[in-house]
């Protein structure tokens, strides 16, 4: 599949975690223009709607947007079902910490176990040179650094990335302000350029905590 955004030079093969949001979509477009061979991955991690603030199924909405973006960019989209692993590695931890009277951070665990655990390992096994995400962070000289946007910086959520992985992860939007990223999405004509930013639980959505914990 040839993308209209692709640069003829090839800097390596990249799997982009395409969430359906603006940041990952712009990341994919930037990598194509920079000369990388880009494919995308969408992860199905949570399908239950119990305890959500909306009765809709967020993962279906996200996947629909990811499909639209991949088609627009002209890149192949892989879909991986990590729902069982997400339950055991992220949600069981989430429920256990609350039951123990502690406040969990499922986003940190999600990044460690799912994005830079299962997905990273899958990308490497498939022969990709890099895994890219839409996180606001930077990597320089094998060090994880804060993003250019101090208000959107996400290094806390991905601090568990293993040192050996840092040569194989890319954060294309990390050097930009969020406002600039949205502006780029519009100029590129991305189909999800006006999509609202996700503020809910990682891969789950906005929740009613009491109802969610009652599952």
DSSP structure string for 179-191: HHHHHHHHHHT-T
| Cβ contact 28:16 at 8 Å | yes
Q: Distance (Å, rounded) from C-alpha 14 to C-alpha 40? A: 8
Q: Distance (Å, rounded) from C-alpha 136 to C-alpha 155? A: 7
Q: Look up tokens 């800097």; give the residue.
A: 11
Active-site residue list: 110, 202
Strand positions, DSSP E, 45-167: 77-81, 130-132, 137-140, 143-146
Torsion of Cα atoms, 46 then 50 then 53 then 57, to 10°: 50
Spatial neighbors of 209 by CB under 8 A, at least 6 apart, are 51
Q: Distance (Å, rounded) from C-alpha 193 to C-alpha 185? A: 5
Q: Distance (Å, rounded) from C-alpha 17 to C-alpha 119? A: 8
């Amino acid at each position: 599949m040839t993308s209209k955004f692709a640069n003829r030079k090839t800097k390596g093969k990249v799997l982009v975690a395409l969430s359906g949001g603006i940041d990952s979509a712009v990341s994919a477009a930037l990598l194509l223009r920079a000369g990388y061979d880009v494919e995308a991955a969408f992860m199905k991690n949570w399908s239950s709607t119990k305890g959500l603030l909306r009765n809709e199924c967020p993962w279906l909405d996200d996947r629909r947007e990811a499909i639209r973006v991949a088609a627009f960019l002209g890149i192949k989209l892989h879909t991986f079902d990590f729902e069982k692993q997400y339950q055991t590695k992220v949600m069981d931890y989430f429920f256990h910490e609350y039951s123990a009277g502690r406040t969990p951070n499922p986003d940190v665990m999600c990044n460690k176990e799912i994005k830079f655990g299962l997905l990273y390992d899958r990308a490497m096994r498939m022969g990709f040179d890099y895994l890219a995400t839409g996180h606001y962070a930077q990597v320089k000289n094998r060090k994880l650094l804060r993003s250019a946007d101090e208000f959107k910086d996400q290094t806390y959520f991905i601090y568990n990335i293993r040192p050996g992985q840092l040569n194989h992860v890319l954060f294309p939007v990390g050097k930009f302000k969020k406002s600039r990223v949205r502006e780029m999405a519009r100029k590129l004509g991305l189909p999800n350029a006006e999509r609202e930013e996700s503020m809910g639980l990682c891969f789950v959505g906005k929740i009613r905590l009491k109802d969610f914990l009652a599952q």
